Amino acid sequence: MGKNKKWVYARAFKGEPNSSNFDLVEEDIPALSDGEVLFEALYLSVDPYMRAYVNKLGGKTGFTMFGGQVARVAESRNKDYKVGSYVFGQFGWQLYTVGNPGFTTVFGTNEKPFVLPDFGDLPLSLALGVLGMPGNTAYFGFLEICNPKAGDTVVVSGAAGAVGSLVGQIAKIKGCTVIGIAGTDDKLNWLKNELNFDGAINYKTQNVPAELKKLAPNGVDCYFDNVGGELSSQVIYQMNKYGRISVCGAISSYNDSFTDVPKASIVQIPMVLNELRMEGFVVTRWQTRWMEGITQNLKWITEGKLQYRETVTEGFLKMPEAFIGMLKGETTGKAVVKV
C-alpha cells in the first residue's frame, strides 16, 4: 500500500495559530475491508470555524486536524461509492482516508461523505465554498435568520470572505441595499465594483460608525455578523426598530481564550430600545434542507447573479500556511488548498 500524509494538531493554539501547532505525520494506508472506501483528497478546506472549534475540545491535541475536503474515490469495496466519483467528506487534513462511511469525527458527530452533484463546467473545489458549507451558511443563515425584505439595508461584516461575499450578493438578489465591511481596499473595490455592493467600509482605516452613518442614513435593518466584538456593537447601535442580526461567527475573538474573551460595548441597550433580535447559528441545523441551498446557489451562478472567488494555495504541505493566512484576512473569497 501507499503512504498517507496528515497534519496533526499537535500543540494547542495560544493566540494566533502558527506552524508549530501542527506536525506532519506519514503513515501506511491500510488495505480495505469489505464495505470500505479509499478517498484521495483533491481540495482541502481551511475555514475560520476551525480556530474556534478546537476550543470546544477542551485542550485535546494529537488528532488529525478536522475539516472538509473534496476527494476522489480511489478504491472501493462499497457499492455506494464508485471508483472515480467525487465526494465531499469531513476527512480532515490528510491526503488519504479509509472510511466505512460513515465515521465518527473528533467531535463525536457521525459523518457520511456524500457524492457531489454534477457541477457542469464549474470546478470541484466549489464544493468547499459557494456550493458547499459556506454557500449554505450564507443562504440559510442570512435568509432564515435575517428574513430580509426588498428595500432593507443590510450590513455584512467579513464581507469579502467566503460567506460574507455571498451574503451580500444574495441580499442584492433580494432587493436590499448592501454595505460590506472588510479590511483592505482591494477587498472593498471587489465588493463595490464587481459584486455591486452599494457601499463598503474599511474597518482598519476608516471610522466605522461615521462611515456607516453616511452609507446607511436611515439605519440598518439586517446585520450578518462574521466578526463579533466592538465592530459589531458599532453596527448594532445603528440598527432600526425590529432589526435582525444573524451571528455566523466571531472571528475577531477566535484567537482569544474562551475564559478571557475580549470586551465590547454592551449590546443590550440597542437590543431593548429597538427591539432587535440576534441569533447565532451553525449551518448544520439545516442539514435536512442541504441540497436546497446548493441547488439555489448553483442556479444563481449559472444565471450570472452570484459570483464567487477562491484563493487557492497549491500543495498539501502548505495547509497550515493557508489556514494562518486566511485567519489573518489575507485571502479574498473562499480559501482552499489544492493537493
User: What residue ranges bind its own copies (CB under 8 A)?
Assistant: 52, 56, 225, 228-229, 232, 237, 247-250, 253, 258, 261-282, 285
Q: Is 273 exposed, middle or buried (0-12, 13-18, 19+ CB in 10 A)?
A: exposed
Q: Answer yes or no: are the C-beta atoms of 146 and 163 closer than 8 Å.
A: no
Q: How are beta strands 334-338 and 310-314 bridged, if at all?
A: parallel
Nearer to its own copies, 142 or 316 (CB): 142
Q: Nearest Cα to 75, choosing from 32, 124, 43, 114?
A: 32
Q: Answer yes or no: are the C-beta atoms of 135 and 161 closer than 8 Å.
A: no
Cell of 113: 461523505
Q: How far is the CB of 275 from its own copies (least distance, A)?
A: 5
Q: Answer yes or no: are the C-beta atoms of 5 and 94 closer than 8 Å.
A: yes
Q: How far is the CB of 101 from its own copies (least distance, A)?
A: 26
Nearer to its own copies, 264 or 312 (CB): 264
d(CA 28, CA 34): 19
One-letter-per-residue 3-state SS of 195-253: CCCCEEEECCCCCHHHHHHHHCCCCEEEEEECCCHHHHHHHHCCEEEEEEEEECCCHHH
Nearer to its own copies, 271 or 339 (CB): 271
Q: How far is the CB of 261 from its own copies (least distance, A)?
A: 5
d(CA 255, CA 251): 8
Q: Answer yes or no: are the C-beta atoms of 2 and 57 closer than 8 Å.
A: no
Cell of 316: 498539501
Nearer to its own copies, 84 or 217 (CB): 217
How many CB atoms are closer than 10 A to CB 34?
7
Nearer to its own copies, 269 or 317 (CB): 269
Nearer to its own copies, 146 or 298 (CB): 146
Nearer to its own copies, 158 or 183 (CB): 158
Cell of 77: 469495496
Cell of 310: 477562491
Verify cis geometry, omega within 30 degrees of 0, for the bond prior to 108.
Answer: no
Nearer to its own copies, 239 or 306 (CB): 239
DSSP code at position 65? P
Q: How far is the CB of 253 from its own copies (least distance, A)?
A: 6
Q: How far is the CB of 286 from its own copies (least distance, A)?
A: 11
Q: How far is the CB of 217 from its own copies (least distance, A)?
A: 17
Q: Answer yes or no: are the C-beta atoms of 75 and 38 closer than 8 Å.
A: yes
d(CA 156, CA 279): 15
Nearer to its own copies, 123 or 158 (CB): 158
Q: How far is the CB of 232 from its own copies (least distance, A)?
A: 6
Q: How far is the CB of 297 from its own copies (least distance, A)?
A: 22
Q: How far is the CB of 107 from its own copies (least distance, A)?
A: 12
